[in-house]
Amino acid sequence: MRKIVIAGNWKMYKTQAESEEFLQGFLPHLQETPEEREILLCPPFTDLSALSRNLHGSRIQLGAQNVHWAEFGAYTGEISGPMLTEIGVRYVIVGHSERRQYFGETDATVNLRLKGAQKFGLTPILCVGETKQQRDAGETESLIISQLDKGLINVDQENLVIAYEPIWAIGTGDTCETKEANRVIGLIRSQLKNPNVPIQYGGSVKPSNIDEIMAQPEIDGVLVGGASLEPESFARIVNYH
Ligand SMILES: O=C[C@H](O)COP(=O)(O)O
């Protein structure tokens, strides 16, 4: 039985005060959320401690948006696994397309971060996905297989989540057609040693399309950007029918 994982990636949005305000509006909606759904918030680093304190006793899990592979060291601007687990963080997003595009993340550094996350007790969420240009050139399958091949070298597939995020669907309102997302996620699953790895879809997920997305048999959850920033909108997503 594959786990359902629904994650909000807040990217570089929300101060601590705003994150606490979000929780007040969001937590009451969780009373309707079926127990088996893993609900996850991935705020900026500065919000993690405060949220961790406020979430004590709640079913919400915390995720970071990046992690370095070393335990500590002279790596200005980076954060280590032990720093995250100490404050109750359980998950971390690795290889998001925005990290690959703007901050030089490569399949090789993604691989190091995945292994580093696991070494220090975090569950990584590996993001893969193609650009519009790659899709139009018929390269979607080969690109994704290559990202998986290089990213997953010596990675433990028992402690892993994967997110398929077509880059052209991120923040654009242009959701990937659900059957196509299901097909690509099936392809991703066929490449894995462990077929029970939860695989999410990400890219313009919103209250109006969540039910259709989650009705697809290969899709085990969603990684939500913009629509996770408002309590009511994210509540509708976690409480999909
Ligand atoms: O990590 C989340 C994705 O980048 C999706 O963002 P979006 O829901 O705003 O399209």
Its ipTM equals 0.99
Map out the domains of the chain as residue ranges: 4-238
pLDDT of 118 reads: 98
How far apart (Å, rounded) are the C-alpha atoms in residues 44 and 22? Answer: 14
How much is the pTM?
0.97
Give strand pairing partners of 126: 94, 162
Do residues 161 and 124 make contact, with C-beta atoms less than 8 angstroms apart?
yes
Ligand 1 contact, 66 CB (< 6 A) = no
Query: What is the CA(37)–ligand 1 centre distance, in A?
Result: 19
171 labelled as ligand-binding?
yes
Known catalytic residues are 96, 165
pLDDT of 98 reads: 97
Query: What is the CA(227)–ligand 1 centre distance, in A?
Result: 8
CA distances from 107 to 55, 80, 95, 215 (A): 33, 19, 8, 31
Is CATH 3.20.20.70 the classification given to domain 4-238? yes
Positions in the chain whose pLDDT score sits under 50: none
The two structure tokens encoding residue 231: 């309590």
How far apart (Å, rounded) are the C-alpha atoms in residues 44 and 23? Answer: 15
Query: What is the CA(226)–ligand 1 centre distance, in A?
Result: 6
pLDDT of 175 reads: 81
CA distances from 5 to 37, 67, 75, 101 (A): 6, 20, 31, 25
Q: Are strands 4-9 and 221-224 parallel, antiparallel or unpaired?
A: parallel
Atom of ligand 1 nearest to the CA of 171: 10
